Amino acid sequence: MKKIDKNSRIPLYIQLMEILVDEIENHMEENDQLPSEREICEKYGLSRTTVRQAISELERDGYVYKQHGKGTYVAPRKVNQNLARFYSFTEEMKRLGKKPVSNVLSFKVIEADKKIARKMKRNEGDPVYEFVRLRLADDIPMLLETTYVPHDLFPGIRKEDLESMSLYDMLRTRFGVKPTMAEEVFRPVVTRDDEAKLLQIPVEIPSLKVERFTYDGDIIVEYTNTIARGDLFEYRVRLDNKN
């Protein structure tokens, strides 16, 4: 049994969270009941304050749910593409057993115009990569992405790199950058003619326009504008009740 190190500089409730997550992921099933709070106090020599704080965070993170008077239980695992975690087209398609292909339609270095500069929190005129990729899964067009990446942060990216590997893999392996967070904003839009053609859908089908801002710390390392075909792509998200 893992133990709590009371002399560690890591807060006790964090340590307990890690122990419990490990327990949940490796030894428990959905809807299994956790030991009661008081049992956990006993077992690890912690106060109920600390135990409740740990469990409260786990609840917030979607690992468990509580029922007053009954107990605390392992939350059902998330299904499908879940927006609550970081998303990579390449990774996700592999997970679904499909063959992901990136077709780089254009690739250039441009000077950021006013809009791009504002979106990326940079100065107008800063050099940025701009590349358009058509993403296919098993040869079916799924997404049309226009991506902007600061040139000064990641010099030497070539078109071929993007065709062979995912952007995130490249940032990690070539530049040692592992994005910490991303924000996506999406809204339904009428599909434009040129987009419809590339995605091989009729214009009558609306698309989902997704703006993505990817951060490493507080620096934006990627700004992407995606058109996702509305007939094939569905977004799924799990919301947790924070009370």
Partner DNA sequence: GTTTTATACTGGTAATGACCACATCACCAC
Partner DNA sequence: GTGGTGATGTGGTCATTACCAGTATAAAAC
Smallest separation (angstroms) from DNA to the CB of 64: 9
DSSP state of 82: B
Q: Is 83 in the site for its own copies (CB under 8 A)?
A: yes
For residues 145-184, one letter each, b for 16 or more C-beta atoms within 10 angstroms of the residue's C-beta and e for the rest, the string is: bebbbbbeebeebeeeebeeebbbebbeeeeebebeebee
- The Cα-based distances of 60 to 56, 63, 238, 239 in angstroms read 6, 8, 12, 10
Of the two residues 97 and 176, which places its CB atom closer to DNA in the complex? 176
What span, in angstroms and rounded, lies between the C-alpha atoms of 73 and 180? 29
Of the two residues 53 and 214, which places its CB atom closer to DNA in the complex? 53
Contact 151, 166 (CB under 8 A): no
Of the two residues 70 and 115, which places its CB atom closer to DNA in the complex? 70
Residue matched to tokens 């327990």: 23
Which residue from 18, 30, 32, 38 is in contact with DNA, where contact means CB under 7 A?
Answer: 38
Which residue from 30, 43, 45, 234 is in contact with DNA, where contact means CB under 7 A?
Answer: 45
- Binding characters for its own copies, 149-188, by CB under 8 A (x = yes): -----------------------------xxxxxxxxxxx
What is the total count of residues that contact its own copies (CB under 8 A)? 52
Of the two residues 3 and 202, which places its CB atom closer to its own copies in the complex? 202
Name the burial class of residue 34, with classes exposed (0-12), middle (13-18) and buried (19+) by CB atoms within 10 angstroms of its CB.
buried
Which residue from 32, 42, 61, 138 is in contact with its own copies, where contact means CB under 8 A?
Answer: 61
Interacting residues with DNA between 59 and 118 (CB under 7 A): 66-72
Contact 185, 211 (CB under 8 A): yes
The residues with which 106 forms a beta bridge, in sequence order, are 132
80, interface contact from DNA, its own copies, none, CB < 5-8 Å by kind: its own copies
**Contact residues: its own copies, CB under 8 A:** 30-31, 57, 60-62, 65-67, 73, 75-76, 79-80, 83-87, 178-190, 204-208, 215, 217-218, 230, 233-243
